[in-house]
Amino acid sequence: MSDAGVLGIRRATDADWPALWAIMEPVVRVGETYCWDTCLSEAQARTEWLAPADRTMCVFVAEETPGPGSVGAAVGAVVGTAQLHANRAGGGSHVANASFMVAGNAGGRGVGRLLARHVLAEAREQGYRAMQFNAVVETNTRAVRLWQSLGFRTLATAPGAFRHPAEGFVGLHIMFREL
Amino acid sequence: MSDAGVLGIRRATDADWPALWAIMEPVVRVGETYCWDTCLSEAQARTEWLAPADRTMCVFVAEETPGPGSVGAAVGAVVGTAQLHANRAGGGSHVANASFMVAGNAGGRGVGRLLARHVLAEAREQGYRAMQFNAVVETNTRAVRLWQSLGFRTLATAPGAFRHPAEGFVGLHIMFREL
């Protein structure tokens, strides 16, 4: 991510998939933060992230466009992605759920926070009354701190509910905030 | 359910679907206990309950077979059903999830408890380390008491996360027990 770049959020399109998969694949393979099979295929990942069967699903990308002082490619680079959808159907459909991924080489630059603020605003606009994260790995402290700073509280931690490849059995936080 | 009937549990087969739908449809339509669209079609319900795409899914039926002293049909009547599967994929796949439904005219006779005991034993056999219910409607007190009596504790209650057709916004319990 160039210092001169300008970060923006827009809806994802099918054309973004290769860039999204480049961000997702390392996250999937290492298996430290998401409850996904580490051998998930690209096709499965695409269905999982873009979820065409879920009519409530919105997918966003964080894109860096070259700033006025920057030199080089004029095309934006996708540096993060988020999905927003109803956490449950029917009587539970007024609570949103969201997931986030940031490119490994773009960490620590506020991409996750920008995506999260956008998704929270979008969820409010869509009429959701709350947002719930069902499975935040407790060792993913960067994510936990980000959600706390954005008003989420940990309702509970399911003990040992995640088998971390390095840390062994660790808890999964259920995090929640009203909108 | 005849007093002379003998209750047994077996795996569901495709041939059970009409009996399963007869149990499920009233539950779906009233929308008081499951986070499903109340207008769910039979085809969607079948996919939801039998979940052919989820390789971890096992579906059971509670069947009443005529007892030695009973008169009438020799064919068993399906009076309840349960599903057992991994609550999450990947690093979360050692925690089971299960769902249960009992025929309206078979309530209060221990069908749910029998199914639950069977599913807990099956989950242990399959190597799951815990079982989690993600969304137990807090006004579904019969279910809450049953799960408590079987060793589940409420980890947390997501406030107002379920819109009950009569009670308004009520909580969803996340319930958990080790196996």
If you average pLDDT over residues B88-100, what whole number do you get?
97
The whole-number pLDDT of residue B73 equals: 52
Please indicate whether, in this complex, the C-beta atoms of B91 and A165 are within 8 angstroms of each other. Answer: yes
> In chain B, positions 126-155, which contact chain A (CB-CB < 8 Å)?
129-130, 132, 134-135, 137, 155
Nearest CA in chain B to A130: B161
The whole-number pLDDT of residue A109 equals: 87
* Percent of chain A with pLDDT strictly greater than 90: 83
- C-alpha R_g of chain A: 16
Nearest CA in chain A to B153: A158
Q: Is residue B48 part of a domain?
A: yes
Q: What angle do CA A136, A140, A146 make, to 5 degrees?
A: 80
Q: Which residue has the higher pLDDT, A145 or A107?
A: A145
Average pLDDT over all residues of chain B:
92
Please indicate whether, in this complex, the C-beta atoms of B156 and A161 are within 8 angstroms of each other. Answer: no
A161 shares contact with chain B (CB less than 8 Å): yes
B95 shares contact with chain A (CB less than 8 Å): yes
Count of domains in chain A?
1
pLDDT tier at B53 (50, 70, 90 boundaries)?
confident
Please indicate whether, in this complex, the C-beta atoms of A92 and B174 are within 8 angstroms of each other. Answer: no
Q: Tell me the three-class secondary structure of chain B, residue by residue.
A: CCCCCEEEEEECCHHHHHHHHHHHHHHHHHCCCCCCCCCCCHHHHHHHHHCCCCCCCEEEEEEEECCCCCCCCCCCEEEEEEEEEECCCHHHCCEEEEEEEECHHHCCCCHHHHHHHHHHHHHHHCCCCEEEEEEEECCCHHHHHHHHHCCCEEEEEEEEEEEECCCEEEEEEEEEEEC
Please indicate whether, in this complex, the C-beta atoms of B174 and A157 are within 8 angstroms of each other. Answer: no
Specify the length of chain A in residues.
179
Residues of A in contact with B164 (CB under 8 A): 91
The whole-number pLDDT of residue A75 equals: 67
Q: Is residue B98 part of a domain?
A: yes
User: pLDDT of A31-67, one tens digit each?
Assistant: 999 999 999 999 999 999 998 788 899 999 999 987 7
User: pLDDT of B6-51, one tens digit each?
Assistant: 899 999 999 999 999 999 999 999 999 999 999 999 999 999 999 8
pLDDT tier at A11 (50, 70, 90 boundaries)?
very high
Is the pLDDT reported for residue A4 higher than 60? no
Interface test with B, best of A163, A177, A179 (most B CBs within 10 A): A163
Q: Which of A40-44, B104-108, B165-169 has the lowest mean pLDDT?
A: B104-108
Interface test with A, best of B139, B164, B172 (most A CBs within 10 A): B172
If you average pLDDT over residues B79-90, what whole number do you get?
97
Domain that holds residue B25: 6-128
Is the pLDDT reported for residue B3 higher than 70? no
The whole-number pLDDT of residue B170 equals: 98
DSSP state of A171: E
Cα B92 off chain centre by: 21
If you average pLDDT over residues B111-117, what whole number do you get?
96
Is the pLDDT reported for residue B84 higher than 70? yes
Average pLDDT over all residues of chain A:
92
> In chain A, positions 47-76, which contact chain B (CB-CB < 8 Å)?
none
Please indicate whether, in this complex, the C-beta atoms of B135 and A88 are within 8 angstroms of each other. Answer: yes
Is the pLDDT reported for residue B101 higher than 70? yes
Q: Is residue A172 part of a domain?
A: no
Q: Is residue A166 part of a domain?
A: no
Q: Is residue B141 part of a domain?
A: no
The whole-number pLDDT of residue B1 equals: 47
Please indicate whether, in this complex, the C-beta atoms of B163 and A134 are within 8 angstroms of each other. Answer: no
Q: Is residue A134 part of a domain?
A: no
If you average pLDDT over residues B111-135, what whole number do you get?
97
Please indicate whether, in this complex, the C-beta atoms of A162 and B91 are within 8 angstroms of each other. Answer: yes
Decide if B57 contacts B98 (C-beta within 8 A): no
Give every CB contact of residue A30 below 8 A, 6+ residues apart in sequence: A38, A165
Q: Please state, in angstroms and rounded to a whole number, the distance separating the CA atoms of residues A58 and B135.
A: 23
Nearest CA in chain B to A163: B91
Q: Please report the DSSP string for A40-104 in residue order.
A: --HHHHHHHHH-TT-TT-EEEEEEEE--TT--S--S-EEEEEEEEEESSSGGGTTEEEEEEEE-G
The whole-number pLDDT of residue A2 equals: 47
Residues of B in contact with A174 (CB under 8 A): 155-156, 158, 174
pLDDT tier at B2 (50, 70, 90 boundaries)?
very low
Q: Please state, in angstroms and rounded to a whole number, the distance separating the CA atoms of residues B96 and B87.
A: 5
- Give the pair of three-digit tokens for residue B12: 């569901």
Residue A153 distance to chain B (closest CA, Å): 11
Prediction ipTM score: 0.92
Specify the length of chain B in residues.
179
CATH number, position A85: 3.40.630.30
Is the pLDDT reported for residue B147 higher than 50? yes
Q: Is residue A169 part of a domain?
A: no
Pairing of strands A153-164, A95-102: unpaired
- Give the pair of three-digit tokens for residue B152: 């589940």
If you average pLDDT over residues B125-143, what whole number do you get?
97
Q: Is residue A66 part of a domain?
A: yes
The whole-number pLDDT of residue A114 equals: 96
Residue B25 distance to chain A (closest CA, Å): 14
Q: Which residue has the higher pLDDT, A68 or A81?
A: A81
